[in-house]
Amino acid sequence: MGFFRLPVFRRTPMVTAMSSPPPVSVVRPEQPSLPVVLSCPHAGTFLPEDLRRASALDDDVLLQATDFGVLDLVKPAAAALSVPLVVCGYSRAYCDVNRDRDELDPDLFDEGTDLPPHRSRSPRVLAGLGVVPTLIGGKQSIYGDQRLSTASVQQRLDRVHHAYHEALAEQLRLTCAQFGHAILVDCHSMPGLSPSATRGLRRDRNPFRLRHVPGEGQGLSTGAVDAVLGDRFGTTCAKPVVLSVLHRLWNSGLIVEWNRPYAGGYIIQHHGDPKAGVHALQVELSRDLYLDKALQPTANHADIAAMVLSLIERLGALDPAVLRDPSLFEGEDSLA
């Protein structure tokens, strides 16, 4: 989530010749040990050739929206705890699987073509952040004056978007069949956020909006907002799911915000169904916690990785009876 300047990757023959990874990868242990499914939708860095031909932007610009480093935290935890992991290998600049497939900008298409179903007034589309993004960083046009054919966009949606959500739904189905419920953790990274940019409250005033108070267990905190948890304002998971993660992050001394500025995207909104036993939570971790400006691991990297493993383990240990309590997942719907 969010954008920042990357080390420069120009259009070189090596990059052009890079073999294509699968659009979607599923790592499923032979015998999952916890009712948790991990989703990593924005870690992909592969730029398909049709995108690179259509865009005048350099690769480093197209990759600015990548959630760098998050897969290095999540993948070892998934292996250690024997939980399924679903990863999108393609850059979100090509197709953003955390959007509804009809969040399309009609101005993206060739004139006179039959448009697929689209919601042109979606706030994300208006910001250039639809399922096929048109802007990077809110201002740099990906395609300029170029237009795309309906067929090419439909191919992206089928090859990447549909495949991702089909794979995720299958892992959730299998997990529910084995354990009776499933907890989906949608994993993201973000640039550092200033505490003044959000509206968090102290722990003793609101247990659902925990945040670090200077001088109280600094721990691993960067001193800014370190994590944002999103449950679409209480609609995608039971409260114990949120509280479990909040308290684990708090115990590491992190500044944590809840639903602001990120309440969760299409993935948790689409798959989260607490009444059916599927609880979905979006977790954003600041890259400043574990990467330096050159995207190299910091001294805290191992501690953050251990924290991620621990919070997944805690989620897997939640009492299923508590998660089935209807009073704990009645929330207020929101378009935010």
pLDDT tens-digit series, residues 94-129: 999 999 999 999 999 987 778 777 877 789 999 999
In terms of C-beta distances under 8 Å and separation of at least 24 residues, what long-range contacts does 154-157 make, across chains too? 154/116, 156/94, 156/95, 156/132, 157/95, 157/101, 157/116, 157/131
pLDDT tens-digit series, residues 225-253: 999 999 999 999 999 999 999 999 999 99
pLDDT at 269 over 60: yes
Band of pLDDT at residue 330, cut at 50, 70 and 90: low
Q: What is the pTM of this model?
A: 0.87
For 231, residues 6+ apart whose C-beta sits below 8 A from its C-beta are 237, 241, 242, 258, 259, 263, 264, 268, 272, 280, 281, 282, 331
CATH number 3.40.630.40 is the correct assignment for the domain at 13-97+160-328: yes
Band of pLDDT at residue 15, cut at 50, 70 and 90: very low
Band of pLDDT at residue 199, cut at 50, 70 and 90: low
Q: What residue type is assigned to position 121 of the chain?
A: R
pLDDT at 13 over 50: no
pLDDT at 334 over 60: no
pLDDT tens-digit series, residues 168-194: 999 999 999 999 999 999 999 998 876
* Closest of 275, 237, 228, 290 to residue 255, by C-alpha: 228
For 274, residues 6+ apart whose C-beta sits below 8 A from its C-beta are 236, 237, 238, 323, 329
- 313 SS3 class: helix
Domain boundaries of the chain, sorted by first residue: 13-97+160-328
Alpha helices in 17-87 (DSSP H): 49-54, 59-62, 70-81
